[in-house]
Amino acid sequence: MTQERVAVPGKNPDDPGDDPVGSSGMSGPVDTDTVEAVVRHQLSKALGGKRGMLEAAVPTLAFTVSFLSSDDLRLALVISVSAAVFLLVVRIVQRSTPQFVVNSLVGIGIGALFAWRSAQGGGDASDNALAYFLPGLIYNVGYASLMVLSIVVRWPVVGFMVGSVAGDPTEWHRDPQIVRLCRNLTWMLVLPCLVRVSVQLPLYLSGRAAEDAGPMIAALGVSKIALGWPLQLAALGGMAWLLGRNRTPVEPEPQPA
């Protein structure tokens, strides 16, 4: 990779521990002397670290397991919402950001809304269960489409993570090496969505067409867990591998005399 540098306004070159991102809720200084370190830090913020990923997964896991075991939509919602509310209370008591718990609650609420509308339209228990999984499919298709579009137009989304630190949202685009790195990292974000859609969409369509949708619903529940955070962590591992291969320096912007 070339050694062209990305300017970070106000960063002291003699202080590699500066955190230009600001307070992130993570303890200790953040090394942002390279573009790779900047992207790693921004991805960690976006996902909330290990705790944020766990908080996002637990309510969904609780809903899926309880619904599959009881076939009771209301009970599954009560259990999953209760788990999310407990995690939310813990966050509030600790005075830390509840963002990722709230995200889980929103996801559960949207899924429940789709299931409720299916029931209002005369759907049976199987139709309602299939409807709960539909928002996830729509989200993954939309997310992947936007990411691929950003790659096609050569403005990969991950590049804006670099730009948010560099002070100029388009500065990174001047270096083709950084654009290439950000493109590859954006593909890593796209791949989990493509895998989920390629597995879950045929299951969903088969369930809609089958007289007995039970096996398809069970398969959707299992795939939602197996292709959720495990797949996301695998993608992040690939991103970490890409980020560990190079060191593109971040140079401070010259200060006026």
Q: Answer whether residue 32 shows pLDDT above 70.
A: no
The answer as to whether 4 is a domain residue is: no
Mean pLDDT of 149-171: 83
23-27, 60-64, 83-87: segment of lowest average pLDDT: 23-27
Domain tally, the chain: 1
Q: Answer whether residue 123 shows pLDDT above 60.
A: yes
The answer as to whether 3 is a domain residue is: no
CB atoms within 10 A of CB 174: 11
> What pLDDT is recorded for position 222?
83
CB atoms within 10 A of CB 206: 14
Range of the domain at 45: 34-246
The answer as to whether 201 is a domain residue is: yes
Indicate the pLDDT class of residue 147, thresholds 50, 70 and 90. Answer: very high
CA quadruple 103, 105, 110, 112: dihedral, nearest 10: 160
Mean pLDDT of 90-100: 82
The answer as to whether 237 is a domain residue is: yes
Q: Which range has highest mean pLDDT (7-21, 39-53, 191-205)?
A: 191-205
Q: Which range has highest mean pLDDT (152-161, 171-180, 197-206)?
A: 197-206
Q: Answer whether residue 194 shows pLDDT above 80.
A: yes
Q: How far apart are CA 9 and CA 104, in angstroms?
A: 36
- Terminal CA-to-CA distance of the chain, rounded, Å? 32
> What pLDDT is recorded for position 3?
43
The more confidently predicted of residues 106 and 140 is 140
> What pLDDT is recorded for position 56?
73
> What pLDDT is recorded for position 207?
92
> What pLDDT is recorded for position 166?
62
Question: Looking at the whole model, is its pTM more than 0.75?
Answer: no
Average pLDDT, whole number, for the chain? 77
In tens, the pLDDT along 228-253 reads 878 877 887 888 788 777 655 555 44
> What pLDDT is recorded for position 234?
84
Burial code of 7-39, b = ≥16 C-beta within 10 A, e = fewer?
ebeebeeeeeebbbbeeeeeeeebbbbbbbbbb
Q: How far apart are CA 46 and CA 239, in angstroms?
A: 14
The answer as to whether 218 is a domain residue is: yes
- State the angle between helix axes of 176-209 and 157-166 in degrees (0 to 180), rounded to the nearest 10: 140
The answer as to whether 47 is a domain residue is: yes
Mean pLDDT of 176-194: 90
The answer as to whether 23 is a domain residue is: no
CB atoms within 10 A of CB 157: 18
The answer as to whether 1 is a domain residue is: no
Q: Which range has highest mean pLDDT (65-69, 92-96, 130-134, 236-240)?
A: 130-134
Indicate the pLDDT class of residue 45, thresholds 50, 70 and 90. Answer: low
The more confidently predicted of residues 28 and 141 is 141
In tens, the pLDDT along 10-25 reads 444 444 433 333 333 3
The more confidently predicted of residues 166 and 242 is 242
